[in-house]
Structure 1
Amino acid sequence: MLEMKLENLENYLRSILDGKIELTGIGEIGSLDEQGMKDFGYGKPMLINFRQDGKPVQAVLSAMKGDRYGHQFYWDRAAILMFQYETGGLMKHHVRPMGLGYVDGSGRLVPVKDVNEFFILNEKVEGKDYFLDLERIKSGQLLERDIGLTAEFALWLADLHSAKSPEKDLYHRRIRQLIGDSECIFGLIDAYPHPFEHFPEKRFIDLEKKLIEWRWKLRRYDHRLSEVHGDFHPWNVLIREDGGFSVLDRSRGQWGEPADDVSTMTCNYLLYSLYSGPRLSGDFEQLYRTLWDTYLDKTNDREILEVVAPFYVFRGLVIASPEWYPGHPLEVRQALFRFLENILEEDVFDYQNINKYLQG
């Protein structure tokens, strides 16, 4: 349970409640041994006794402990407590939430009151969106520095992915998110029009069945858990005048599968190339091969080719989506659909022969 000083708790109560507040006592209420058949608990609640304008009041202070059920990080647990605070009082017979807050590094209980929406404040960095470079290249203006920048991406990813973690549950979680999360494969599929004339229901069903098989295959690769970005695509990269770059919007946690980052950027090279024909070719093939070759030379991680396919499916569904990319010519969308189906049919991705996955 939380380590706290009585004065910190009393100050917190005064910040969220009206009237004169006087703390009179605190102690544990219940225990994990008193939950009958339930073996698992999220933490011991604390009984709080205080007076409000002289009237005795009791409250229960609760927190969650981390576990492998999607609650590993404090922001996971915060989301659940925020939900309970927001909705508990709306239900008939439910106990009334009195306050929401967090404990800071010094042990102070800090209130979170009248929440409507959260925000984040980031530094402003100089640079232009990387996708603008890809638009230039699409028009036939590949520069030598574009090849060098792609190699820098690969080296940066190799360095990032060199940090490993033994927490196997986090790898399983990341794969579970990949397949079933609202922002990932199943969520994207649900966001497609249904029915969708260019990808009928039967093809979605077959795709999902194949992905379940891949989920169980990837469970054997939990030794690969690495530090990742999680959303490394051209709209999340800023290119500076000096040729350097900055990245934005890290997503879905610090730890994951390196194939996620490599597939995300290279999938966009494929997309841009498809605007010139039904194959990966020309300048974008050169960028694609530069990133893959440089990354593999640096890491010697040939195992990535055994796990990358479902990550390509995720990114393929994103860039083929009629909601996110409504302006695609039909032949571009259809080529992407063929790619995300065909890539699941082989156990090892043949990155040097990617065009075979585009064939009907």
Structure 2
Amino acid sequence: MLDMKLENLENYLKAILPGNVELTGVGEIGSLDEQGMKDFGYGKPMLVKFQQDGQPKQAVISAMKGDKYGHQFYWDRAAILMFQYETGNLMEKHVNPMGMGYIDESGTLVPVKDVKEFFILNEKVEGNDYFLDLERIKDKGIEDKDIQLTKEFARWLARVHSVKSPETDLYERRIRQLLGDSECIFGILDGYPHPYEHFPAERCIALEQKLVSWRWKLRNYSHRLSDVHGDFHPWNVLIKDDGDFYVLDRSRGRWGDPADDVSTMTCNYLLYSLYSGPELKGDFETLYLSLWDTYLEATNDREILEVIAPFYVFRGLVIASPQWYPGHPLEVRQALFRFMEGILDDDVFDYKNINRYLRG
């Protein structure tokens, strides 16, 4: 519950409005019972009365209430309020947005003015991009340190994924995003050229139809909701000189299915292997099996094999994309397309025999 002092609101009004501003009252809409700002922030609009250069004015201040329809987190709600602030006065007859801002932990209303873009500042760490290790392995072969690092990835994922959440609606949301989000399956597929002779419309339709069935299957697995990274691929990992690593760019929220992270990294081992032929083999098969075997040993999560197929489809579409990876030989893309189609036909992923999905 947010219990803010009236002077906080008055200071906010003075920060966003020109002239001499004085707060004269706050209360519920249709009433002006003096009650301070108690309960503000739970979706209840509050009437604000003030004077600006001696002229009486009124405004309504409100915040969104969290719900299970994609508004669970404050950054979800912030996006909607930003949209309303940016576009409200562009529509005929729409009330005029006067200001927006955020409420900090002390109850202070902090204005956000004239926003054009947001940014993030992260610490700088030393390390080399992990994909460069994969390039080295492709050209010169594997070293023992590469296998050990892959096993450490698996043990780290096991620790991260051990944190669980009972919020079933967040699991359903994550699966819904996996299929329908602009950055996920349907969005990535829309980013392909159309028509696209190597993956024509009829194959896109068939793939999407299978995925709808998988969405309803995965509704039965909400107990798997876990702490995840969300974008654990070789371009988001930095390797330190001592062999340890950092990860970058956590994506799509904290909670999801562990299958997301496992599929993301192992799918890239498949990609690198396909550059030497239409199957997973050799050094990259060693890395792939090292991560899988170590992860399953650390977690005993055999259930992951029942849910991972749509996550592999998402990552497969990304790395097969002619927009994101324009330099792939056609044979590499075709193998990835066969993999995505074949994996959806199995109820349980046969990770030790992945090559059978590549044959079509």
TM-score after normalising by structure 2: 0.96
Match of 1:69 in 2: 69
SS in 1 for 2:354: helix
Partner amino acid, structure 1, of 2:352: Q
Aligned residue for 2:353?
353
Distance 2:184 2:2 in 1: 34
- Alpha-carbon distance, 1:293 to partner: 0.1
Determine the structure 2 residue equivalent to 1:251. Answer: 251
Q: Give the superposition deviation at 1:140.
A: 2.9
**1:266 matched to which residue of 2?**
266
Q: Separation in 1 of the partners of 2:192 and 2:318?
A: 10
Q: In the alignment, residue 44 of structure 1 is paired with which amino acid?
A: K
Q: Which residue of 1 aligns with 2:34?
A: none
Distance 1:75 1:253 in 2: 10
Q: 1:168-179 residue pairs with structure 2 within 5 A?
A: 168-179=168-179
After superposition, the C-alpha distances for 1:315-348 in whole angstroms (9 at most, x for unaligned) are: 0000000000000000000000000000000000
Give ranges in structure 1 of 5+ residues lacking alignment.
32-40
Take 1:321 and 1:287, find their aligned partners in 2: how far apart are those partners?
23
Residue type of the partner of 1:185?
Answer: I
Provide the aligned C-alpha RMSD in A.
1.2
- State the match for 2:234 in structure 1: 234
What amino acid maps onto 2:137 in structure 1?
I
> Once the 2 structures are TM-superposed, how far is the Cα of residue 3 of structure 1 from its aligned partner?
2.4
Q: State the Cα distance separating 1:350 from its structure 2 match.
A: 0.2
Q: Residues 192 and 322 of structure 1 are in contact (CA less than 8 Å); yes or no, is this contact kept in structure 2?
A: yes
Per-residue CA shift, 1:28-77, capped at 9, x if unaligned? 1169xxxxxxxxx9711000000000000000001001100000000000
> Tell me, what secondary structure is at the counterpart of 1:263?
helix
Equivalent pair of 1:184/1:314 in contact (CA under 8 Å)? yes
Give unpaired runs (5+ residues) of structure 2: 32-40
Among all aligned residue pairs of Structure 1 and Structure 2, give the percentage whose two residues are the same amino acid.
78
Aligned mates of 1:252, 1:46 — CA distance in 2: 33
Corresponding residue number in structure 2 for 1:223: 223
1:290 alignment counterpart: 290
Query: Which residue number in structure 2 is paired with residue 89 of structure 1?
Result: 89
Q: In 2, are the aligned partners of 1:30 and 1:44 still within 8 Å (CA)? A: no
Amino acid paired to 1:153: F
Scaled by the length of structure 1, the TM-score of the pair is 0.96
Counterpart in 2 of 1:129?
A: 129
Aligned to 1:208: 208
Q: Secondary structure at the residue paired with 1:22?
A: strand
Paired position in structure 2 for 1:331: 331
Runs of 4+ in 1 over 3 A off after TM superposition: none
Structure 1 residue 124: deviation in Å? Answer: 0.2
C-alpha deviations, 1:282-322, integer Å up to 9, x for none?
00000000000000000000000000000000000000000
SS at match of 2:238: strand
Q: Distance in 1 between matches of 2:305 and 2:54?
A: 68
The one-letter code matched in structure 2 to 1:332 is V
Q: Secondary structure at the match of 1:345?
A: coil
Q: Residues 15-164 of structure 1: matches in 2 within 5 Å?
A: 15-29=15-29, 43-164=43-164
CA contact (8 A) 1:2 1:63 kept: no
**How far 1:4 moved relative to its partner?**
1.3
User: Are the aligned partners of 1:26 and 1:48 in contact in 2 as well (CA < 8 Å)?
Assistant: yes
